[in-house]
């Protein structure tokens, strides 16, 4: 039994020292598929690929509107410092482009999900996550006065459209646990200035192909040691009790 206690204490100490070490992390695979379209009048076409995925709704007089998502290779590769909790700076996961052309009222989509696959390694251990982000589309009428959410830029009588992004309902997990740390990948939103200013909506001028970077961040939070330690001690204690009973029965 003494040996079991010593083994448990040694294991707990190892866990503590592991959580206090710098950790290499890499996010080197991103795939994005457009899925779950709502509100369209039919005829929407989706072409999902690697690295570019597109969605187009029916054209009018040669004008076609839609979204592009083009993933970037290896958006995150670095060393997480030993201090926890820790949050990375914003990093680019891909370019979102809204092809914004004048179309008849009611012919645009209402929303679509971007189903992502994020894969990489944490401390040499591979991981794969499947978050889903919802893009809500506001195809505004091109008549004054223009509809504008708070924080948007002034527009002319030809009104801008707006795209809001958020975590989709029923999204797959964006959190994983490695050792005594919990890693969470979070969506930040759109940026048109390299990540300096990030918003959860994108203002898209009429009549052009309008790009914005889509940014995320990584945060690391330690799991409270007592819970992990008691779980480990309980397991090792059970092993010790089993061994003791075997010796006694022998």
Transcribe 66-89 into DSSP letters.
EEEEEEPS--EEEEE-SSSSEEPP
pLDDT exceeds 60 at position 238: no
Residue 16 has which token pair? Answer: 């503590």
Distance CA 45, CA 47 (A): 7
Region 116-121: mean pLDDT is 96
> Does the pLDDT at position 221 exceed 50?
yes
The answer as to whether 229 is a domain residue is no
Q: What is the mean pLDDT of residues 15-32?
A: 79
Q: With respect to residue 146, please indicate whether it lies within any of the assigned structural domains.
A: yes
- CB burial string 196-209: b at 16+ within 10 A, e below: eebbebbbbebeee
- Tell whether the model's pLDDT for residue 204 goes beyond 80: yes
Q: For residues 96 and 13, which has the higher predicted lDDT (pLDDT)?
A: 96
Task: Give the C-alpha separation, 131 to 111, whole Å.
Answer: 16
Q: Which residue has the higher pLDDT, 63 or 90?
A: 90
Does 57 map to a domain? yes
Q: What are phi and psi of 158, to 5 degrees?
A: -90, 105
Strand locations in the chain (E): 23-38, 45-47, 52-60, 63-71, 76-80, 86-87, 91-100, 111-122, 125-129, 132-138, 161-167, 175-178, 181-191, 201-204, 208-222
Structural domain including 129 reads 23-224
**HSE-up of residue 99 (Cα within 13 Å, Cβ side):** 17
234 in any annotated domain: no
Asked, for residue 11, whether it belongs to a domain, the answer is no
Number of domains in the chain: 1
Mean per-residue pLDDT over the chain, rounded: 83
- Is residue 237 in a domain? no
Consecutive H or E run containing 228: helix 225-249
- Domain assignment present for 246: no
Q: Does residue 13 sit within a domain?
A: no
């Amino acid at each position: 039994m003494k040996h079991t206690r010593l083994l448990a204490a040694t294991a707990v100490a190892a866990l503590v020292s592991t959580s206090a070490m710098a950790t290499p992390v890499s996010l080197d695979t991103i795939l994005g598929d457009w899925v779950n379209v709502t509100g369209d009048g039919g005829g929407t076409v989706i072409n999902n690929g690697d690295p570019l995925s597109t969605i187009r709704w029916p054209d009018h007089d040669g004008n076609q509107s839609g979204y592009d998502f083009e993933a970037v290779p290896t958006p995150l590769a670095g060393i997480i410092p030993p201090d926890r909790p820790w949050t990375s700076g914003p990093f680019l996961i891909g370019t979102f482009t809204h092809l914004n052309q004048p179309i008849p009222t009611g012919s645009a989509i209402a929303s679509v999900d971007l189903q992502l696959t994020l894969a990489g390694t944490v401390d040499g251990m591979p991981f794969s996550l499947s978050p889903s982000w919802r893009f809500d589309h506001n195809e505004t009428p091109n008549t004054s006065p223009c509809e504008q959410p708070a924080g948007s830029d002034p527009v002319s009588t030809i009104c801008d459209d707006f795209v809001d992004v958020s975590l989709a309902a029923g999204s797959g997990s964006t959190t994983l646990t490695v050792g005594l740390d919990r890693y969470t990948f979070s969506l930040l939103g759109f940026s048109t200035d390299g990540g300096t200013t990030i918003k959860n909506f994108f203002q898209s001028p009429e009549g052009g192909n309008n790009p914005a970077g889509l940014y995320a961040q990584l945060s690391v939070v330690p799991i409270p040691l007592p819970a992990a330690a008691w779980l480990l001690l309980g397991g090792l204690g059970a092993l010790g009790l089993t061994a003791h009973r075997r010796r006694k029965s022998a």
